[in-house]
């Protein structure tokens, strides 16, 4: 399916006099609603989820504690260690993904990764069949936990983005790929299996989308240590490739958020505790 050209309203005006990124989001939702384009109306409705998710963070933390309790027992039973962290997708990244879906005529309701958890198994630095089977086992057991103990629902995975990995490519030589899935049959259609079918960047992992009985929707990612190390190393490159044609041009001179200033290279300057730091959060897409 080819890309669709959509004339999105200028995002820079959303930053003027904004107090924080939630205000930016509110401002841009207002701008989008003024448009006569029906896609922009869908855009505004989806973008509102960014603000509404603040109220869901507490509920997400409750799920976080329940999952940690399950994982403690699971790791002990399977004689392995692991880590888990929760996250909320960055505003610019979420905004860019909405644009990408609209431009490819994908259903915006399929974007379900605003909130999520990443679980990493402390396996070896290089994958093998044993480590990947363990990742499959964890996902199978975790989804069973959500369904049975948490009375949750598994949602259909969002549309796959990007090109598949070419088997004979240089990237394919850097990772371990086994051409068989070990997901339980009932989970096959609900999990994005990037372990068996890596992205063209070499990214691997198992992604599933859960809806709790309270209506909270979040993504769960399961990776081996090797997958996580490689994934982090290509993260920025992967994002740049995915959103190469969907960059959001920002006029940093228009950003008027109190306490925020930018240097000549558009890097954020902040002076906390007397220490000057320079980061560029608006490029984290």
Is the predicted pLDDT of residue 264 greater than 80, yes or no?
no
Query: pLDDT by residue (tens digit) across 113-171?
Result: 999 999 999 999 899 999 999 999 999 999 999 999 999 999 988 777 777 899 889 99
Cβ–Cβ under 8 Å, residues 118 and 84? yes
Element (H, E) at 47: helix 38-52
| Residue 282 within a domain | no
Measured CA to CA, the distance from residue 235 to residue 4 in angstroms comes to: 26
- Whether 281 is in a domain gets the answer no
Give the pLDDT confidence of 240-260 residue by residue, as tens digits.
655 555 566 677 666 666 666
pLDDT of the residue at 172: 92
In the chain, pLDDT over 90 holds for what percent of residues?
Answer: 58
Can you give the CATH number for the domain in which 81 is found? 3.30.460.10
Q: Is residue 89 part of a domain?
A: yes
CA distance 84 to 74: 13
**Which domain does 147 fall in, by range?**
12-259
Q: How many separate helices (H) and strands (E) can be counted in the chain?
A: 6, 9
Quote the mean pLDDT of the chain: 85
Total domain count, the chain: 1
Residue 5, domain member (yes or no): no
Within a domain: 22: yes
- Please list the alpha-helical segments (H only) found in 104-128: none
- In-domain check, residue 275: no
For residue range 181-237, what is the model confidence (pLDDT) as tens digits?
A: 999 999 999 999 999 999 998 999 999 999 999 899 999 999 999 999 998 888 666
Q: CA separation (Å) from 217 to 91, 94, 163, 185? A: 17, 15, 26, 23
Check residue 266 and give its pLDDT: 62
CA 95, CA 40: separation in Å to the nearest integer? 12
Q: Would residue 237 count as lying in a domain?
A: yes
User: Is residue 229 a part of any domain in this protein?
Assistant: yes
Residues paired with 83 in a beta bridge: 120
Task: Map residue 274 onto helix, strand or coil.
Answer: coil
């Amino acid at each position: 399916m080819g890309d669709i050209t959509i004339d999105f309203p200028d995002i820079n005006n959303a930053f003027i006099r904004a107090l924080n990124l939630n205000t930016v989001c509110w401002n841009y939702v207002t701008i989008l609603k003024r448009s006569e384009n029906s896609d922009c109306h869908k855009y505004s409705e989806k973008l509102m989820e960014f603000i509404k998710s603040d109220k869901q963070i507490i509920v997400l933390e409750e799920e976080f504690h329940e999952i940690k309790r399950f994982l403690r027992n699971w790791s002990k039973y399977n004689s392995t260690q692991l880590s888990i962290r929760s996250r909320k997708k960055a505003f610019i990244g979420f905004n860019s993904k909405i644009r990408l879906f609209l431009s490819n005529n994908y259903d915006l309701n399929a974007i379900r990764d605003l909130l999520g958890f990443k679980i990493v198994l402390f396996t070896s630095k290089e994958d093998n069949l044993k480590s990947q089977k363990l990742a499959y086992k964890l996902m199978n057991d975790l989804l069973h936990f959500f369904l049975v103990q948490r009375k949750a629902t598994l949602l259909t995975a969002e549309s796959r983005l990007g090109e598949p990995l070419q088997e004979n490519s240089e990237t394919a030589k850097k990772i371990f790929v086994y051409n068989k899935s070990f997901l339980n049959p009932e989970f096959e259609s609900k999990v994005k299996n990037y372990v068996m079918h890596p992205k063209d960047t070499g990214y691997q992992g198992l992604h599933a989308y859960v809806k709790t009985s309270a209506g909270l929707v979040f993504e769960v990612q399961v990776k081996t240590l090797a997958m996580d190390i490689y994934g982090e190393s290509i993260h920025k490159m992967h994002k740049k490739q995915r959103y190469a044609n969907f960059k959001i041009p920002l006029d940093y001179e228009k950003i008027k958020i109190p306490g925020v200033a930018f240097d000549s290279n558009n890097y954020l300057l902040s002076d906390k505790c007397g220490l000057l730091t320079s980061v560029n959060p608006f490029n984290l897409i």
